[in-house]
Copies of this chain bind each other. A is one copy, B any other.
Amino acid sequence: MSETVDSKQKLREICRIAARVFYEKGYDGASMQEIAEAVKLTKAGLYHHVGSKDRLLFEIMNYGMDILDETVLEKVKSIEDPQEKLRQTIIGHIDLVVRARDMEITVILHENRSLKGPLRKKINARKKAYIHYLEDLIAQVQDKSGHERLISPALAAFNLLGIINWLYQWYRPEGPITQEELTKGCVDFFFRGLLGGPQVPTTPAQDQNPFV
């Protein structure tokens, strides 16, 4: 392992632990001393790795976007069909928000009022690139469906992000809804909202099979 890879791993480890501290205490409420203790470094050692508290917050957010790129977008890159590519992107993104390991990092990504100036601009540019990726994919799915658009790709993309990013507020893996049910429910709901299908069956409620 080269020193660069090692120090990247170290930085990521710091980011994961610091994200948990920020998540629990808030950015302003957490001191660099507390974070140093949590990552088992001296305060000087922590500053050596991250530069400043601002920079640490930036690194956490940047790592959050890296995870999205590496674990979701890289994997769907080779899928040609836009609808399947979008579906897999949604599944991957939900997994990221829901699984405990990276939850804090994903949450902190959206509390970026604490970040200022050029660091904020850099993160916002990465977020915008992802939104544009979703919009493009949504527009392709709409075009391929052969029907007129029922919603603008931009509004559909933001509705999708709202659904996914709200999950951390309420979804608990140990609760009554399995991750599989959750994912299928969200994906189907989104695609019905986007494309208006599948058609509603016309069976009256009283004729429904109670075992379905």
Q: A: which residues have CB within 8 A of B?
A: 23-29, 110, 113-114, 143, 145-148, 150-152, 154-156, 158-159, 161-167, 169-171, 177, 182, 185-186, 188-190, 192-205, 208, 212
Contacts and interface: CB of A to CB of B under 8 A. Distances in A.
Contacts of A185: 151-152, 155
A19 to B, nearest CB: 14
A158 B170 CA distance: 8
A144 to B, nearest CB: 9
Nearest to A162: B166
A162 B155 contact: no
A193 B195 contact: no
A192 B186 contact: no
22 contacts: A28-B28, A146-B202, A146-B204, A146-B205, A147-B200, A147-B201, A148-B205, A150-B189, A150-B192, A150-B200, A155-B186, A158-B167, A158-B170, A159-B163, A162-B164, A162-B166, A166-B166, A189-B193, A192-B192, A192-B193, A196-B199, A197-B199
